[in-house]
Chain A
Amino acid sequence: MTNPYVPLLFFLAIGGGFAIFSVAIAPLTGPKRYNRAKMDAYECGIQPSPQAEGGGRVPIKYFLTAMLFIIFDVESVFLYPFAVAFGGLGLFALVEMVLFILTVFVAYAYVWRRGGLDWD
């Protein structure tokens, strides 16, 4: 086996095939009995709350969390090659990495002070 990613594709094909098959046969195995109330959004039996077009507005906090996630996840991805090659790079890598992490910590402290990490 020359390319090590090919077995992963096999696995994806098996797992994905199973998932798609299950979802595809779901409408065929069960009964079909129409009832208008059944097709409504489920809210524990009360009248469903009216929905705005496209799902309506969502709290800004989720958006903020996603933005912060990108910043810090990119940071951790930068740390991976450094960590793997660390032994071969010498003292330079250590100094460089400490400087990088300090820079990120400044951003982190800023976000914390501005209340970006508070949920309420």
Chain B
Amino acid sequence: MTVLTALAAAEPYVPRDNPIADFSDTPWWLSLVKALLIFVYLLLSTLLVIWFERRVIGRMQQRPGPNRTGPFGLLQTLADGVKLALKEDLTPKNADKVVFILAPAFFGAMAFVSFGIIPLGPEVSLFGHRTPLQLTDVPVSVLLMLAVAGVGAYGVVLAGWSSGSTYPLLGGLRSSAQIVSYEIAMGLSLVAVFLYSGSMSTSQIVANQRDIWHIIPLVVSFVIYVITMVGETNRLPFDLAEGEGELTGGFHTEYSSLKFAMFFLAEYVNMFTVAALATTVFLGGWQAPPGIAAINDGMFNEGWWGLLWFTIKLWMFMFFFVWLRGALPRTRYDQFMHFGWKFLIPVTIVWVVAIAFLQAANNGFLGDRAVNIFGAERRLASLIVIGVLALLVLAATWIWEGRQVKRAEARAVVVPPEIDPFAGGYPVPPLPGQRLRESAGESQADSSKAVIHG
């Protein structure tokens, strides 16, 4: 019921393309403190998630995982970091020295930036100032984040190219092709969100989800975003850039010591960033889940509570990443590209057009007549658009199913009831349910052979 209300709500248009987070009471030094706090939050989360991933993967594979360093093995990542720092830092003789050193620093720096526009909570008191739990917000926050992600892809290409070695070169190329291919579907899936919230500012998008989280009306966008975010971060089942069996380590094969650690860290920070964006634009950001939000006049939607809800949602995505890694095998590269270019992109474009029509109807561009269903006023045009879309989806699934059946029929191999085992010059065993055709001379010479063949 709430879904229909949200989909066909007749509400007037209010322009809202500016951030609503209020930074007027935030002096520059407080911004610096917040930047430092968010940096520490990210770094600690990364240390934890690597441990978390190894433990959960361990459980999924019926083994305990790292449990020696510190309580429950919690310090394992730190120990690995120290170990990496004490390893020799190699620069292969074929490498382009300057780019080889710059690439990991570049990749690492870019990974951190985009977290700055993520709202971690509502307004709180910090050192006597009222300030939002967010580093900054601009009218084009989400665009900025996509741009930074695009620049980050350079780190991968440069690392692969500058190593002067075959595996990293191939890994870097694959990785960049993968990132740019899935960035299109990712960007397009967010267009539906902008249509719905009328803004690219993250605080405004979160505020727009006060009544209903975007995941419900925009579920197709959410699914596409989740698929593309796995592709963007080079995680299983899309970790073709590394593909241990094929390219040893992918673009960072030649890196060692802290340079390798920087790539490793940045990849996990990237995971947090895309998951944080998913939380912000689809799962209500820092807002409490609907049941809890209603308690005591929205008490749990105030102050520092926001950080808790945000962290919980973020870690649900982290578990999802780990779960995918534990459950799915790697895809083939052509299948992966095929899926991205020939399925995700057209589906997303069609979805954006559908949402545009729906929003136009909701805003009253397609007629103002309202009807009364289930005791609420709704625009007739919205209901018609929803009906037409439902019919189109039905037709599409019907056609698709027909094609699947045809394909299955074309694939099915016709098994002749009899087979001559020596027709091709060498003996061929019969398929299940097949009888052997016996040549005249053989059956006369030895009739017991037929019995043995069954």
Which residue numbers of A lie inside 8 Å of B, CB to CB? 1, 4-8, 10-12, 14-16, 18-20, 22-23, 25-27, 29-33, 38-44, 48-49, 51, 55-56, 58-59, 61-62, 65-66, 68-69, 72-73, 76-77, 79-80, 83-88, 90-91, 94, 97-98, 101, 104-105, 108, 112, 117-120
Contacts and interface: CB of A to CB of B under 8 A. Distances in A.
B92 A39 contact: yes
A62 B32 CA distance: 41
Contacts of B253: 42
B338 A119 contact: yes
B258 A26 contact: yes
Nearest to B101: A23
Interface string B232-265: 0000000000000000100001100111011000
Nearest to A111: B341
Given A80-B191, A84-B17, 9 more contacts: A18-B108, A18-B112, A19-B104, A44-B248, A58-B173, A72-B345, A84-B200, A86-B198, A91-B365
Contacts of B112: 11-12, 14-16, 18-19
Interface string B32-57: 10111011000000000000000000
Contacts, number: 241
A40 B28 CA distance: 49
Nearest to A65: B177
Interface string B85-111: 111111111100000010011111101
A105 B349 contact: yes
B180 A15 contact: no
Given A5-B138, A7-B34, A73 B164 contact: no
A98 B356 contact: yes
Contacts of B124: none
Interface of B: 13-15, 17, 19, 23-24, 26-28, 31-32, 34-36, 38-39, 85-94, 101, 104-109, 111-113, 115-117, 135-138, 143-144, 161, 163-167, 169, 173, 176-177, 180-181, 183-184, 187-188, 191-192, 194-195, 198-200, 248, 253-254, 257-259, 261-262, 266, 333-334, 337-338, 341-342, 345-346, 349, 352-353, 356-357, 359-360, 363, 365-366
A101 B165 contact: no
Contacts of A6: 28, 31, 136
Given A30-B86, A76-B187, A84 B198 contact: yes
A38 B93 CA distance: 9
B257 A4 contact: no
Contact of A73 (B39, B161, B183): B183
Which of A41, A49, A88 gathers the greatest number of chain B CB atoms within 10 Å? A41
Contact of B188 (A12, A38, A42, A76): A76
A98 B136 contact: no
B25 to A, nearest CB: 9
Contacts of A98: 353, 356
A30 B92 contact: no
Contacts of B117: 8
B35 A94 contact: no
Contacts of B188: 76, 79
Given A15-B113, A22-B261, A27-B89, A108 B346 contact: yes
A15 B356 CA distance: 38
Nearest to A14: B39
B35 to A, nearest CB: 4
A20 B412 CA distance: 59
Contacts of A59: 173
A30 B85 contact: yes
A3 to B, nearest CB: 9
Nearest to A69: B180
A44 to B, nearest CB: 6
B277 to A, nearest CB: 15
Which of B107, B111, B167 gathers the greatest number of chain A CB atoms within 10 Å? B167
A112 B342 contact: yes
Which of B36, B113, B143, B258 gathers the greatest number of chain A CB atoms within 10 Å? B258
A11 B269 CA distance: 14
Contacts of A18: 39, 108, 112
B257 A7 contact: no
B139 to A, nearest CB: 8
A6 B36 CA distance: 14
A55 B352 contact: no
Contacts of A62: 173, 176-177
B359 A69 contact: no
B300 to A, nearest CB: 27
A66 B175 CA distance: 12
Given A22-B258, A40-B92, A84-B199, A10 B13 contact: no
Which of A23, A40, A88, A90 gathers the greatest number of chain B CB atoms within 10 Å? A23
A17 to B, nearest CB: 8
Nearest to B332: A119
Contacts of B92: 39-42
